[in-house]
């Protein structure tokens, strides 16, 4: 009995002879995932019934019609904002699609309500366009710029959502959704300073952060990127982690930026969890 129990624990935690089996299985899965990735078309071939059902649910819940309904529904094969929840929820397509579309549309409604007349908008760290696809509906007459370290993401947003490559000129509105929740401390501070320097007079930076913590600044290397190494343009764990900070760290970083700035935390939450932080010239 004792031997059987010992063996059972070993199987569960992967020690002894089972450790190698688990490592082999992990490598086999990683190889299969890479092979599968090579075979995928750029736009995921998700059954249209599921896409349309999730899309309609989003439109109905948020009370949206045209031009929102006409936005592109294409999802890139390497979009971790879709792929990671899809993996975590064991392929529950409808739930994951609904959350994906809802998060993007709701964010644009939020941003639109804060700066309806923004002429030049930068979707900073916009990725593969979970949010960016809806900017054309929220800001039909504006120039919508995209920047992201992933070349494939920028290209996708330009081709499919009519975004423009970032020209580094001043902008009226910057949205950085779930970007500062990932940057190492030095990058967090320097990026904040750079983005504030891009704002035109009266402009606003809207970024998202995790709920403030008591710890000043914590960086964990594990993210959706580290869980999906097979995706293209994947980011390194040194440059992209999971970040939690205190409000005093945030205030300090803002005060250290050039210029004089004030901020407001909105009652709404990005994707249901992250704080919207709106920064404007004081």
Ligand X SMILES: C[S@@+](CC[C@H](N)C(=O)[O-])C[C@H]1O[C@@H](n2cnc3c(N)ncnc32)[C@H](O)[C@@H]1O
Binding site for ligand X (CB under 6 A): 81, 124-127, 130-131, 148-150, 153, 177-179, 182-183, 187, 191, 235, 240
In the bound complex, what is the minimum distance in angstroms from residue 13's beta carbon to ligand X? Answer: 31
Give Cα 202 distance to the centre of its chain: 26
In the bound complex, what is the minimum distance in angstroms from residue 36's beta carbon to ligand X? Answer: 21
Compute φ and ψ for 173, nearest 5 degrees. -145, 130
Q: How far apart are CA 270 and CA 211, in angstroms?
A: 11
In the bound complex, what is the minimum distance in angstroms from residue 267's beta carbon to ligand X? Answer: 20
CA angle 222, 227, 228 (to 5 degrees): 135
Beta partners for residue 213, in sequence order: none
4 contact partners, CB below 8 Å, separation of at least 6: none
In the bound complex, what is the minimum distance in angstroms from residue 149's beta carbon to ligand X? Answer: 5
- Is the bond preceding 30 in cis, omega lying within 30 degrees of 0? no
In the bound complex, what is the minimum distance in angstroms from residue 189's beta carbon to ligand X? Answer: 12
Q: How far apart are CA 275 and CA 269, in angstroms?
A: 5
Q: Which is nearer to ligand X, 240 or 250 (CB)?
A: 240
Token output for 224: 């959706």
With the C-alpha atoms ordered 214, 178, 274, 191, is the resulting torsion angle positive or negative? positive
Q: Which is nearer to ligand X, 51 or 176 (CB)?
A: 176
Alpha helices in 145-277 (DSSP H): 151-161, 185-198, 247-256
Q: Which is nearer to ligand X, 149 or 202 (CB)?
A: 149
In the bound complex, what is the minimum distance in angstroms from residue 177's beta carbon to ligand X? Answer: 4
Q: Which is nearer to ligand X, 202 or 272 (CB)?
A: 272
Please name the residue that has the structure tokens 């649910």.
57
Q: Which is nearer to ligand X, 127 or 138 (CB)?
A: 127
In the bound complex, what is the minimum distance in angstroms from residue 107's beta carbon to ligand X? Answer: 7
Q: Which is nearer to ligand X, 68 or 124 (CB)?
A: 124
Q: Which is nearer to ligand X, 120 or 130 (CB)?
A: 130
79 contact partners, CB below 8 Å, separation of at least 6: 127, 128, 129, 130, 153
């Amino acid at each position: 009995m004792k031997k059987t129990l010992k063996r059972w624990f070993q199987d569960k935690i992967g020690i002894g002879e089972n450790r190698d089996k688990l490592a082999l299985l992990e490598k086999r899965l990683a190889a299969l995932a890479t092979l599968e990735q090579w075979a995928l078309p750029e736009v995921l071939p998700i059954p249209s019934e599921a896409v349309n059902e999730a899309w309609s649910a989003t439109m109905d819940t948020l009370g949206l019609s045209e031009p929102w309904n006409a936005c592109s529904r294409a999802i890139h094969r390497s979009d971790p904002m879709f792929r990671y929840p899809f993996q975590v929820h064991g392929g529950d397509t409808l739930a994951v699609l609904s959350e994906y579309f809802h998060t993007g549309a709701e964010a644009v409604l939020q941003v639109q309500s804060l700066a309806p007349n923004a002429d030049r908008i930068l979707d900073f760290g916009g990725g593969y366009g979970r949010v960016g696809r809806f900017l054309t509906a929220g800001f039909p007459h504006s120039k919508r710029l995209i920047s992201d370290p992933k070349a494939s993401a920028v290209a996708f947003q330009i081709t499919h959502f009519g975004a423009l490559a970032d020209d580094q000129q001043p902008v009226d509105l910057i949205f950085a959704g779930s970007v500062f929740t990932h940057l190492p401390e030095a990058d967090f501070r320097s990026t904040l300073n750079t983005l504030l320097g891009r704002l035109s007079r009266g402009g606003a930076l809207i970024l998202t952060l995790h709920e403030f913590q008591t710890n000043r600044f914590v960086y964990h290397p594990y993210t959706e990127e580290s869980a999906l190494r097979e995706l293209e343009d994947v980011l390194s764990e040194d440059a992209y982690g999971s970040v939690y900070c205190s409000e005093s760290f945030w205030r300090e970083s803002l005060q250290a930026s050039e210029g004089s700035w004030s901020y407001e935390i909105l009652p709404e939450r990005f994707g249901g969890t992250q704080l919207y932080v709106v920064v404007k010239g004081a």
